[in-house]
Chains A and B, each alone.
Chain A
């Protein structure tokens, strides 16, 4: 057992850090620090810089453009990326559909889609959840019927993140209505610009527009857009959801936010002195930092385990990452609210593009707190995670 990073790993961290320092557009970084949303252009610009460096799809196999890094190197890269902070790669393309395509897709599909995912020539979105299928995802009803050399798709998806930017969607569709619910689902990809696709924004409690409803009305999709085998889509969905086990803790994001809290708490006054000098606030902050340290170590245990024994057998500790990671993210946004106190109230009607200088640093703190309530809901709610631990780990 040796919990220290090796010299090589430390040098790698320096390399990554200095690349970010030299290449992340300063305005992009500032907006992230302030909790603002980025424009599509800002994100794509950065992802192409990353892809040009060869780090756009770092965890993919080398033959498809990956780096061949060790599990620990991936960990370091992600942590540095999150805590710099710089925009993380577009998960829907890079972490979700990409691995499904290179694992289950045919040669033609790999050639067609993978390079475009890596360079974000296509913006991908995820068509999983439906109004009646949240935690019980396998009850989904969006239908794909085979008609000649086409799929005809009808139905509705929801909570589709950033679908307003999307060029492509990967979609779970029911292809066999008579099969047991998990058995009749297929994994189909198609253009969001197809006739019959309608995107309707959902405004969330933070006032932002991240998620959407997506409607399919007799959308025609070429037959070759099925990934893998017909009616095996549920297996690919499970593969996809289990693939990104360690990123979900978002340790780097929380670290960056804790640094910001400490910084603001040294400036904002309470009782005539900076709030950081208040013992009870300081202890709350320390408590959160300790929880985060424990989570970071838990994550490293999972990472080291994957590096050594492969991804095949999930480390039981990985179930902890989603629950604790989301709780800590929420606590950090709560602490930020506490620091700014009454200045949480003003609502920036101009939105969060940073154009309103008068609102500057406080503008996004309350919205970010509201927005972060989502992290214990998405990706399998924390209650679902507890079901998984009970069943898969404790055998209950």
Chain B
């Protein structure tokens, strides 16, 4: 039982915190949003230089062999600085599929580009009616000789606008909600038949709705078993949920800090409003919520290595519930305690609130995961 970081992990934390302190204040972020694609290639290059984009890959694949704790450290730091760059989509999710099930050839084709920052990925999974069920896949991948032909529509694909390669879930067999017959395919974003409709998201990121019309890929495009990859998808999405929990912890830390600073300086009735007990108690409750979230983010990180998939998923679902409840409270009360200024685009707190809010609805919201835990027989 040990909650401390190792010396190496501490160095990693210091280095990413240092990098983001230097290049990611709120004004810089506004500039990065205006760049093509909505994020900074220069910052992405710096993350690559520091080895952060290759962090979770094995040394044999050209990475640095980091584990769950290392990813947690990075995601927390990215949350704290409200980073726009597509780390989750490219390194955590895209990288996750390649690490867990990629062939040597697939890894050789994609990992170096991720590690050096020249290529980004996106995960095309959500469909019109699938909501949070990962097995609910209507998009099809039909075998045609040696190739697969993909048809279907995917929505709100994070980094879908910029990605060089899309990772697409598609059904090779069976009906829409069958748990078997689902495959995962690497599709070049510029392949014939791929049409992208891009837009910014509420939290300042960028996404795309993507239509696949008779898109042909080789049989070597399938990651894992094209007829039975739900377990793989669940594993990688669980890792994405863990990463989101850590990002939310970073966001909540910064929201609380910003809010406490604000109520210490904002004066009304001749005194700092932070001297009022009703506001102090609210801030204390925000602290409690953030600490409970931090505990569960650590729990989720640990659960990522559980061997039993059911136990792993149950633990991570529980973490997502706690994070969802905490982030809603911390996010909403941050705005409330800021008062009118919290409602403006100009103040940074609202942007933290928006990112937190979007995290709740990504890969399963609080109700969804609470039901999963309940149906699995609880957590005690």
B296 within 8 A of A: yes
* B336 → chain A closest CB, angstroms: 16
Stretch at the interface among B125-133, B188-196, B204-212, B368-376: B368-376
B3 within 8 A of A: yes
For this complex, into which size category does the number of interface residues on chain B fall?
A: 35 or more
Instruction: Please measure, in the bound complex, the distance between the C-alpha atom of A6 and the C-alpha atom of B82, giving whole angstroms.
Output: 37
Instruction: Please measure, in the bound complex, the distance between the C-alpha atom of A297 and the C-alpha atom of B322, giving whole angstroms.
Output: 12
- Some 17 contacts from A to B, beta carbons below 8 A apart, are A3-B2, A3-B302, A289-B379, A290-B321, A292-B380, A294-B295, A301-B295, A303-B1, A304-B1, A316-B287, A317-B295, A319-B284, A320-B287, A320-B291, A386-B281, A390-B284, A396-B264
A9 touches B1 (CB 8 A): yes
Q: From the candidates B275, B281, B322, B380, name the one contacting A294 in the complex (CB within 8 A).
A: B322
As a 0/1 sequence over residues 274 to 300 of chain A, the CB contacts with chain B under 8 angstroms (1 = contact) are: 000001001101110111111101101
A289 touches B378 (CB 8 A): yes
Q: From the candidates B69, B260, B370, name the one contacting A287 in the complex (CB within 8 A).
A: B370
B27 within 8 A of A: no
Q: From the candidates A2, A258, A297, name the one contacting B380 in the complex (CB within 8 A).
A: A258
B292 within 8 A of A: yes
As a 0/1 sequence over residues 1 to 23 of chain A, the CB contacts with chain B under 8 angstroms (1 = contact) are: 11111100100000000000000
As a 0/1 sequence over residues 345 to 380 of chain B, the CB contacts with chain A under 8 angstroms (1 = contact) are: 000000000000000000000000011011100111
As a 0/1 sequence over residues 353 to 391 of chain A, the CB contacts with chain B under 8 angstroms (1 = contact) are: 000000000000000000000000000000101110111
Q: From the candidates A286, A317, A386, name the one contacting B373 in the complex (CB within 8 A).
A: A286
B287 touches A298 (CB 8 A): no
Which residue on chain B has the smallest CB distance to residue A393? B287
Instruction: Please measure, in the bound complex, the distance between the C-alpha atom of A259 and the C-alpha atom of B2, giving whole angstroms.
Output: 28
Instruction: Please measure, in the bound complex, the distance between the C-alpha atom of A283 and the C-alpha atom of B2, giving whole angstroms.
Output: 31
Known: A1-B9, A258-B380, A294-B296. A386 touches B285 (CB 8 A): yes
Q: How many A-B residue pairs have CB under 8 A?
A: 146
B187 within 8 A of A: no
Instruction: Please measure, in the bound complex, the distance between the C-alpha atom of A72 and the C-alpha atom of B3, giving whole angstroms.
Output: 12
* A73 → chain B closest CB, angstroms: 10
* B43 → chain A closest CB, angstroms: 27
* B58 → chain A closest CB, angstroms: 20
A residues apposed to B, CB below 8 Å:
1-6, 9, 72, 255, 258-259, 262, 279, 282-283, 285-287, 289-295, 297-298, 300-301, 303-305, 308, 316-317, 319-320, 323-324, 383, 385-387, 389-391, 393-396
B299 within 8 A of A: yes
B299 touches A3 (CB 8 A): yes
B370 touches A283 (CB 8 A): yes
Instruction: Please measure, in the bound complex, the distance between the C-alpha atom of A290 and the C-alpha atom of B371, giving whole angstroms.
Output: 12
* B375 → chain A closest CB, angstroms: 7
B12 within 8 A of A: no
A290 touches B1 (CB 8 A): no
* B369 → chain A closest CB, angstroms: 9
Instruction: Please measure, in the bound complex, the distance between the C-alpha atom of A298 and the C-alpha atom of B9, giving whole angstroms.
Output: 21
Known: A286-B379, A291-B322, A317-B291. A279 touches B3 (CB 8 A): no
* B125 → chain A closest CB, angstroms: 25
Known: A283-B370, A386-B280. A396 touches B263 (CB 8 A): yes
Instruction: Please measure, in the bound complex, the distance between the C-alpha atom of A305 and the C-alpha atom of B295, giving whole angstroms.
Output: 13
A297 touches B1 (CB 8 A): no
Which residue on chain B has the smallest CB distance to residue A391? B280
With a CB–CB cut-off of 8 A, which chain A residues contact B280?
A: 386-387, 390-391, 394, 396
With a CB–CB cut-off of 8 A, which chain B residues contact A389?
A: 283-284, 287-288
Q: Known contacts A279-B374, A295-B295, A319-B284; can you find 12 more A-B pairs with CB under 8 A?
A: A5-B1, A255-B380, A283-B370, A287-B370, A293-B299, A293-B379, A301-B295, A304-B3, A308-B4, A386-B280, A390-B283, A395-B260
B371 touches A259 (CB 8 A): no
Instruction: Please measure, in the bound complex, the distance between the C-alpha atom of A385 and the C-alpha atom of B287, giving whole angstroms.
Output: 12
Known: A72-B1, A317-B291. A279 touches B371 (CB 8 A): yes
B298 within 8 A of A: yes
With a CB–CB cut-off of 8 A, which chain A residues contact B275?
A: 396
* B170 → chain A closest CB, angstroms: 32
A1 touches B295 (CB 8 A): no
A300 touches B284 (CB 8 A): no
* A75 → chain B closest CB, angstroms: 8
With a CB–CB cut-off of 8 A, which chain A residues contact B343?
A: none
Q: Interface centre among B4, B302, B378, by most A CB within 10 Å?
A: B378
B284 touches A301 (CB 8 A): no
Instruction: Please measure, in the bound complex, the distance between the C-alpha atom of A390 and the C-alpha atom of B69, giving whole angstroms.
Output: 30
Instruction: Please measure, in the bound complex, the distance between the C-alpha atom of A72 and the C-alpha atom of B9, giving whole angstroms.
Output: 23
Which residue on chain A has the smallest CB distance to residue B305? A4
B318 within 8 A of A: yes
* B32 → chain A closest CB, angstroms: 31
With a CB–CB cut-off of 8 A, which chain A residues contact B2?
A: 1-3, 304, 308
Q: From the candidates B263, B284, B378, name the one contacting A286 in the complex (CB within 8 A).
A: B378
